Amino acid sequence: MDFSGRVGGGRRGGGGGHRNVDEFGRERRDKPHQRKPYDRPARGGHRGGRGGAHAAMGHVGPVDEAQEIESRLSSLIVKVGDKNTPTLQNNLEALSVVLEKDCVKHELTVMRTFRQCVLELPWKVTVYSTLAGLLNAKNSETGEKVVTLMHAVLSASLNRGDWGSVKVLMRFFALLVSTNTIAASTLIAMLDTFLAPLAGGVKVSASNNCYVFIVLSTLLWAGRSLQEHASAELEQRLELVSKYVQAQVEINQGNALSTVFHDVPPKGSNGLAHLLDVVRAVAASSWKIDAIYAPYEMFTAEFAQAKQHALPALELPAQLAATAFYTPSEFLQLVPSPSDQLVRKYVMQDFIADTLTQLEGNRKDCGKCLMQIHGLCNEDVCSVMTTVQHPEDIDPESTLVFEYMMAEVLFSFLLQLPEGLYREMYYTSLAIELRKAEPVILANVFETMVENIVARVQFIDVECLNRLSNWLAVYISNFGFQWDWKKWENTASEAEDSPKHRFVQETLLKLIRLSYLDRVRAMLPDSYASLIPAKPPAHNFKFTVQAMDERTRDVSVAMGRCLKSKGTVEQALAILQEHYSQWADIDDERRQTLAREMLVEHVFLLGSKTFSHMLNAIEKFMPALQKFGDSAEAKLQIAQVTEDFWLRNPQFFAITIDKLINYRVIDPATVIAMLFDNGHVGSWSKFHYWEILHNTVKKVNMRVVQLQGRLEAANTAANAMADDDVPVAAENQTAESVEHVEATLAQMVQEQKDVVVSTTRHFARLLSSDSGAAGELDRAWLHGRFKEFLRTYRVQIMENAPVLESEVFTAEASSDVRQAFEDVRKLSV
Amino acid sequence: MAPATLFDDSLLTDTFTIVPRLDRPSTYKDHQYQGSTEQWSTDLARTTTLYVGNLSFYTTEEQLYEIFSKAGEIKRIIMGLSRTDKTPCGFCFVEYYTHENALECMKYVNGTKLDDRIVRTDLDPGFKEGRQFGRGRSGGQVRDEYRQEYDEGRGGWGHMRAKQEEDRRIQQEENYEAIASVPAGAELEINGRLGGQSGDM
């Protein structure tokens, strides 16, 4: 229904298109379910829906009309080539005519839409490179504008170290050779920029891994035209990168620190080597990629007369940390796939991965786009699941299955080593969106993925298993806690620290944290009873649980009363003093120890209700806690009391430790001493100890980074002041503050060093001693956590390599401990 | 560098995207905010705080902590309370240590479920004393005042609807008198088509 002609607000005559307004002439609100991913009324970067973007809608006149034309133009550019249809060729031709005509008038809109299409819809690169080629063939000025803009965007991305965009843009430029918009030699020059660091000889490094990866990705798509126009140059570049990959493989082959699954002979885990295989396979079939429709092949005649544009030289980023480079890694094979479809599978998964990267800012639309990627596929390239099919009706070994490929990429990202590109939660919430869009199909697909991973659970890297557990708990909690628990029913009968038992149990504990015990228990078969706690998580207050003598009870009662009735720090301290000073039979130190325990237990009891209560209690009694935490031993005691108090609530244990560090009641060093206590031998499989370790180390690292930022700011301010003529007093003040920040930073860097060295020392000590772990399984967990620690903090480890080498990784250390250090060294080249 | 004259320089700096980012503030503005619209925007551009809505009254701080710490370390959580009885009334503020974490939360946590309910988050200029209390007439949130649907996680009916339902119950109780014996109902064979044995089919 369209009332716009009858009732006020509608535009008279003209246009003819139905406008989406209601009877009052107001813009109709979007219904999300009718929206395509990038279909939205708003322009100019606003969020869809109401909002200011359509403020001009009420006006009638040229502004309105221009806006409508522009929004139609952009929508045409965005939507062209969504699907591989017979009309696509004509559509592209028609669109290029329209754009060529309107480009002058609506240049900004056209250009920025085109720019974003290339960046945000990477799987349609063949479409947009063709469109650019057609524009160029029709009007070389327009063509030049497009090409130079995209080149400037590429330069900026490169400068920022935005590798996702660099990769996507380089692929676009690769295809511009096919559309005769740039010369083969121009592309070769661009590739040579990335290869320049190899000029003096092949040297494996994080930055070169990244550069070679981009070159190979580009060659995959550029090969066909380069072979035609610059085959000698192509061969040379290919030879150079092959040499590099070989060197890289020699160094990193079988590196246990970057291997997700240890069950396969270590062919996997090397993204570069795999990509080189793919490129060679494409080369062997005369560089033809048949996975998706390549419209530029239809316009050879048009392109023949086009003008090629020269481009300025690219520049590599000057100062980027080794960790700021993209680490190539392979897509994990989690479902069988036809072995003769290497190239097609890579091409599809590469598009899926690029989309995941480029649309990270909006997981909802990213999910919708992902489901459309197969739209441009040529016939018979991959099958797409349907709801009426039974999952077992599709044989993934005889055909590529789109949903499996997509899920494999998602899990490869989740399990990526040495670390993922984004927070784990991205992959969780993206999976949730995907399943919401295709409830039946993707529920099955994700279940298959998880089951296939869990089937290899004894071979999986410990950190990856931890990530999968986190993923699964949030995923399940988003779908009514439904999961086919029956399939893992034998778990309870396995050893408690077997990988599977621990994985299932930790996942259940996470589920309980996200909801509550009864909710989770209700979902589980009876055989799971031993895997979950019998009672809801609670504190373990010492002075009610344990039998105590009369005088202890007296103190406890007095303290309880005082704290409950909002007593002050001084009052609490007075009570402790008053009671314990009368205990003549024990020495001062012992009295102090007892008083410390009494205080900490009662403060925690006061704060045991909620997280906020805990913060309040610690905040209020901070002076007393700090006073009692006056030595390393005293701090360790506080940490141990914390563990004991929260014995049956690991979440609160972790939170409380975290906050005690924040309030400087205990140090990071305290936490490390507490965690690696011999009392924990036999419990290395438990996830929460390592959650606490990482919270702590990350906090220290974060403080260093923050202080570095502050120092920079202070320096800038000081310099600015020195430049101006400011009174001497003010200048001194700034100088002091720079000094102050410098001193704090130095202290923090020392702390960081201590944390890294002492943690490594503890790991090595336990792993090199027979009593460091209770059996094979316990030791395997500890060793897995050691690897996790080394690779996560490899920068800090390498900074302290000399000390570690001379003091920790000595001949006395067990061989697998020393091997892990070798591995982290290779990983950090 | 390309000659700057070829294309408009703004094309290298604008933040236009086809797919809207999720880490942008919504159009909502707290009507009790004491500041200009620009101030509101500058506050949001560096805030570390999120307003979180559509929670169940029974959701605990620890559950919130668990899911929200997926986006970064949490500084504090302020539970939204009913003004009258000081119990949770379905919203809260989550404060991170960094602005980036708040944005990541918008991207990855907003719109996922907690306690079987979709969590809604929005960037917020920061907690001020007093904002922890509901602003509805009955002490809770305004939305629960007028809500027409029954929502078990948020105390059943909306307050106004609850009052209507309660009135109905009282009225029913007052007017209805239970009977002692159940009537059998008259046996009629006038219209066989409506259930009798005889008659045509």
Residue A720 phi, psi dihedral angles, 5° rounding: -60, -40
Report the 3 state secondary structure along A101-137. Answer: HHCCCCHHHHHHHHHHHHHHCHHHHHHHHHHHHHHHH
Coil, strand or helix: which one is A382? Answer: strand
pLDDT digits (tens, 9 = 90+) for A370-413: 999 999 999 889 999 887 777 677 888 889 999 999 999 999 99
The arithmetic mean of pLDDT across residues A193-211, rounded, is 94
Interface of B with A in 106-165 (CB under 8 A): 107-109, 111-116
pLDDT of residue A7: 34
Residue A802 or residue A549, greater confidence: A802
What are the Cα distances from residue A91, in Å, to A68, A88, A95, A96?
20, 5, 6, 8
Interface of B with A in 10-29 (CB under 8 A): 10-12, 14-24, 26-27
Given a cut of 70, whether residue B173 has pLDDT beyond it is yes
Reported confidence tier of residue A729, pLDDT bands at 50, 70, 90: low
Q: Where are the domains of chain A?
A: 84-324, 339-462, 548-666, 671-712+739-829
User: What is the C-alpha to C-alpha distance for residues A324 and A206, in angstroms, rounded to an integer?
Assistant: 9
pLDDT of residue A726: 54
Answer yes or no: are the C-beta atoms of A551 and A583 closer than 8 Å: yes
Non-local CB neighbours of B158 within 8 Å, separated by 6+ positions = B143, B144, B145, B146, B147, B148, B149, B151
* Nearest chain B CA: its distance from A816 CA (Å): 33
Number of Cβ pairs < 8 A linking chain A and chain B: 152
pLDDT of residue A386: 84
pLDDT of residue A22: 42
The arithmetic mean of pLDDT across residues A243-263, rounded, is 90
Given a cut of 60, whether residue A155 has pLDDT beyond it is yes
Nearest CB neighbour to B67, from listed A108, A111, A514 = A514
Sorted by where each starts, the structural domains of chain B and their CATH numbers stand as 34-134 (3.30.70.330)
pLDDT of residue A412: 96
Count other Cβ atoms within 10 Å, centred on residue A625: 24
pLDDT of residue A732: 54
**Helix A402-414 × helix A462-477 angle, to 10°:** 120
Please check whether the domain covering A84-324 is classified as CATH 1.25.40.180: yes
Right CATH for A548-666 from 3.40.50.11290, 3.40.1030.10, 3.20.20.10, 1.25.40.180: 1.25.40.180
How is residue B105 written in tokens?
């939360």
Count other Cβ atoms within 10 Å, centred on residue A101: 12
| A548-666 and A339-462 share a CATH fold | yes
User: What is the C-alpha to C-alpha distance for residues A221 and A225, in angstroms, rounded to an integer?
Assistant: 9
pLDDT digits (tens, 9 = 90+) for A12-36: 333 334 444 444 444 444 444 444 5
Residue from A811, A756, A817 nearest A783 by CA: A817
pLDDT digits (tens, 9 = 90+) for B40-87: 889 999 999 999 999 999 999 999 999 999 999 999 999 999 998 889
Report the 3 state secondary structure along chain B. Answer: CCCCCCCCHHHHCCCCCCCCCCCCCCCCCCCCCCCCHHHHHHHHHHCCEEEEECCCCCCCHHHHHHHHHHHCCEEEEEEEECCCCCCEEEEEEEEECCHHHHHHHHHHCCCCEECCEECEEEEECCCCCCCCECCCCCCCCHHHHHCCCCEHHHCECCHHHHHHHHHHHHHHHHHCCCCCCCCCCCCCCCCHHHCCCCCCC
Reported confidence tier of residue B201, pLDDT bands at 50, 70, 90: very low
Report the 3 state secondary structure along A255-301. Answer: CHHHCCECCCCCCCCCHHHHHHHHHHHHHHCCCCCCCECCHHHHHHH
pLDDT of residue A752: 96
Non-local CB neighbours of B116 within 8 Å, separated by 6+ positions = A480, B56, B153
User: What is the C-alpha to C-alpha distance for residues A133 and A118, in angstroms, rounded to an integer?
Assistant: 14
What amino acid occupies position A207?
A: S
Query: Is beta strand A400-401 parallel, antiparallel or unpaired with respect to B117-118?
Result: unpaired
What are the Cα distances from residue A525, in Å, to A485, A488, A491, A818, B123?
7, 10, 12, 44, 41
The arithmetic mean of pLDDT across residues A106-127, rounded, is 95
| Locus of tokens 């909502």 | B28
Reported confidence tier of residue B6, pLDDT bands at 50, 70, 90: confident
Q: Which residues sit opposite A648 in a β-bridge? A: A538
What is the pTM assigned to this prediction?
A: 0.89
CB within 8 Å: B70 and A51: no
Given a cut of 60, whether residue A59 has pLDDT beyond it is no
**Helix A499-514 × helix A462-477 angle, to 10°:** 40
* Nearest chain B CA: its distance from A307 CA (Å): 16
* Nearest chain A CA: its distance from B20 CA (Å): 6
Residue A729 or residue A169, greater confidence: A169
pLDDT of residue A23: 40
pLDDT of residue A1: 36
pLDDT of residue B191: 54
Given a cut of 70, whether residue B37 has pLDDT beyond it is yes
- A429: chain B residues, CB-CB within 8 Å: 108-109, 111-112
Given a cut of 80, whether residue A249 has pLDDT beyond it is yes
Q: In A581-686, which ranges are continuous DSSP H helix?
A: 588-606, 611-620, 622-628, 632-645, 650-662, 668-675
Reported confidence tier of residue A224, pLDDT bands at 50, 70, 90: very high
* Nearest chain B CA: its distance from A760 CA (Å): 24
Interface of B with A in 63-102 (CB under 8 A): 63, 65-67, 70-71, 73, 76-79
User: What is the C-alpha to C-alpha distance for residues A376 and A324, in angstroms, rounded to an integer?
Assistant: 33
| Locus of tokens 């059943």 | B156
- A145: chain B residues, CB-CB within 8 Å: 6-7
pLDDT digits (tens, 9 = 90+) for A578-593: 999 999 899 999 999 9
User: What is the C-alpha to C-alpha distance for residues A813 and A807, in angstroms, rounded to an integer?
Assistant: 10
The arithmetic mean of pLDDT across residues B105-134, rounded, is 93
CATH topology of domain A339-462: 1.25.40
Given a cut of 80, whether residue A113 has pLDDT beyond it is yes
Q: Considering chain A, what is the average pLDDT of its residues?
A: 89
Per-range mean pLDDT, top range of A1-10, A134-143, A266-275:
A134-143
Of the ranges A44-48, A516-520, A808-812, B8-12, which one carries the lowest mean pLDDT score? A44-48
As for the ipTM of the complex, it is: 0.89
CB within 8 Å: B17 and A78: no
Reported confidence tier of residue B167, pLDDT bands at 50, 70, 90: confident
pLDDT of residue A100: 86
User: What is the C-alpha to C-alpha distance for residues A292 and A381, in angstroms, rounded to an integer?
Assistant: 8
User: What is the C-alpha to C-alpha distance for residues A753 and A799, in angstroms, rounded to an integer?
Assistant: 9
Reported confidence tier of residue A498, pLDDT bands at 50, 70, 90: very high
- B61: chain A residues, CB-CB within 8 Å: 610-612
- Hey, is the C-beta of B31 within 8 angstroms of any chain A C-beta? no
Given a cut of 80, whether residue A550 has pLDDT beyond it is yes
CB within 8 Å: A112 and B21: no
Reported confidence tier of residue B121, pLDDT bands at 50, 70, 90: very high
pLDDT of residue A54: 39
How is residue A418 written in tokens?
């040495």
The arithmetic mean of pLDDT across residues A661-683, rounded, is 96
The angle subtended at Cα A310 by Cα A305 and Cα A313, nearest 5°, is 155
Given a cut of 80, whether residue A566 has pLDDT beyond it is yes
Nearest CB neighbour to A361, from listed B23, B65, B115 = B23
How is residue A657 written in tokens?
């430790």
Q: Residues A714, A719, A722, A726: is their CA dihedral positive or negative?
A: negative
Coil, strand or helix: which one is A308? Answer: coil
Residue B34 or residue A707, greater confidence: A707
- B104: chain A residues, CB-CB within 8 Å: 423, 425
User: What is the C-alpha to C-alpha distance for residues B61 and B92, in angstroms, rounded to an integer?
Assistant: 9
Reported confidence tier of residue A48, pLDDT bands at 50, 70, 90: very low
User: What is the C-alpha to C-alpha distance for residues B73 and B101, in angstroms, rounded to an integer?
Assistant: 8
What amino acid occupies position B68?
A: F
Count other Cβ atoms within 10 Å, centred on residue A785: 22
pLDDT of residue B200: 46
How is residue B2 written in tokens?
């390309």
pLDDT of residue A3: 33
User: What is the C-alpha to C-alpha distance for residues A816 and A773, in angstroms, rounded to an integer?
Assistant: 15
* Nearest chain A CA: its distance from B122 CA (Å): 13
CA-nearest residue to B15 within chain A is A45
